[in-house]
């Protein structure tokens, strides 16, 4: 395999919602379909990372397959020979390299990770799992095993990408050229573009991003929602009492979120939507157009989902995992030799 590698993934979760679709899933599919051929595309399911949050372990295996079917329904071309679709836990080299990286990582480095600090402050250090603390070395292993240059990351993952670069440089300095250093965050943004997916806000609390952690479900459009239920959620979305539509995230976050969503769902610019609605006193027509657009999208998407050939998907996983095990093991033996574990 001689092509440069783009590596990306999305955690397994069959409660995917519209925010996941627009902000992560669709950009990943577009990236894979447009760049496969020029690059080797590693699209993996970080199933080991799933344990960093509470999950139903009896459903995880099936959730992974269902999540991958969402990708195919969204247009992922699994027949492309330069696309490798695999599960993290099916490549044992990820876990071994993570352990090796651990042994060259400072305790203080990991305690300074913003995501760990925020979560441990929220739930308490006695209750947060060591896996959350140890997340960055495993993420680094995911990237470094394949010499990935390009890794599209969100704001919450920038620090982890920089850690990956740091630990790779550290081992290269100690043992010689072991790893390809992934591009810096700024270089990633130049390559992928600064806009790597829209952020959809909660329909009831538009200052927060749409999230499955919403216990009521009223603020979230799940991809499994019926079109009728989705329309009901949109029509009851929180707006304001100002009586005039404006695109102003600070003063009218609810309306601004609806405008953003409508632009995405109709493939129009925000400017076009604003020309149609900004200045109007009635909020109903905006909500109705968005509700209809989302209902139509869900109807079509759910129809595509039922037509995904699961047997073909499983075959793609098996072929990809065989290839990725070979590639990862070639890298791992080089590392094992460098640190004295192999001749």
Residues acting as catalytic residues: 119, 209, 212
Beta strands at 83-87 and 148-150: parallel, antiparallel or unpaired:
unpaired
Q: The dihedral of CA 327, 332, 335, 341: what is its sign?
A: negative
- The secondary structure element, H or E, covering residue 322 is helix 310-338
Phi/psi of residue 143, each to 5°?
-85, -45
Distances (CA, A) of 254 to 57, 238, 243: 36, 6, 13
Letter string b/e over residues 86-107, b meaning 16 or more CB atoms within 10 A of that residue's CB: bbbbbbebbebbbebbbeebee
Terminal-to-terminal C-alpha distance of the chain:
25
3-state secondary structure of 39: strand
| Both tokens assigned to 223 | 């991809």
Of 228, 224, 219, the residue nearest 200 (C-alpha)? 219
């Amino acid at each position: 395999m001689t092509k440069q590698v783009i590596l990306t993934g999305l955690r397994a979760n069959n409660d995917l919602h519209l925010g996941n679709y627009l902000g992560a899933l669709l950009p990943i599919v577009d990236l894979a379909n447009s760049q496969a051929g020029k690059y080797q595309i590693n699209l993996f399911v970080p199933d080991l990372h799933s344990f960093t949050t509470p999950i139903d372990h009896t459903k995880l295996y099936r959730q992974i397959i269902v999540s991958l079917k969402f990708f195919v329904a969204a247009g992922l071309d699994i027949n492309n020979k330069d696309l490798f679709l695999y599960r993290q836990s099916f490549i044992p080299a990820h876990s071994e390299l993570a352990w090796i990286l651990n042994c060259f990582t400072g305790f203080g480095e990991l305690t300074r990770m913003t995501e760990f600090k925020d979560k441990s402050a929220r739930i308490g250090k006695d209750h947060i799992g060591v896996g959350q603390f140890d997340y960055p070395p495993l993420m680094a292993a995911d990237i470094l095993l394949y010499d990935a240059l390009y890794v599209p990351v969100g704001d919450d993952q920038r620090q982890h990408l920089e850690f990956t670069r740091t630990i790779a440089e550290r081992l290269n300095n100690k043992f010689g050229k072991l790893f390809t250093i992934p591009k810096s965050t700024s270089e990633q943004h130049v390559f992928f573009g600064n806009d790597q997916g829209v952020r959809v806000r909660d329909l009831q609390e538009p200052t927060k991003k749409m999230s499955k952690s919403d216990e009521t479900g009223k603020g979230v459009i799940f991809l499994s929602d019926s079109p009728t239920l989705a329309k009901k959620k949109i029509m009851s979305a929180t707006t304001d009492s100002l009586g005039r539509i404006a695109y102003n995230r600070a003063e009218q976050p609810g309306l601004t979120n609806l405008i953003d969503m409508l632009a995405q769902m109709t493939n129009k610019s925000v400017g076009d939507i604003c020309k149609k609605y900004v200045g109007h006193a009635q909020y109903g027509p905006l909500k109705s157009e968005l509700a209809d657009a989302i209902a139509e999208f869900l109807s079509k998407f759910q129809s595509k989902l039922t037509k995904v050939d699961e047997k073909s998907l499983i075959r793609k996983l098996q072929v990809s995992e065989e290839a990725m095990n070979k590639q990862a093991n070639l890298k791992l033996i080089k590392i094992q030799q460098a640190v004295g574990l192999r001749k």
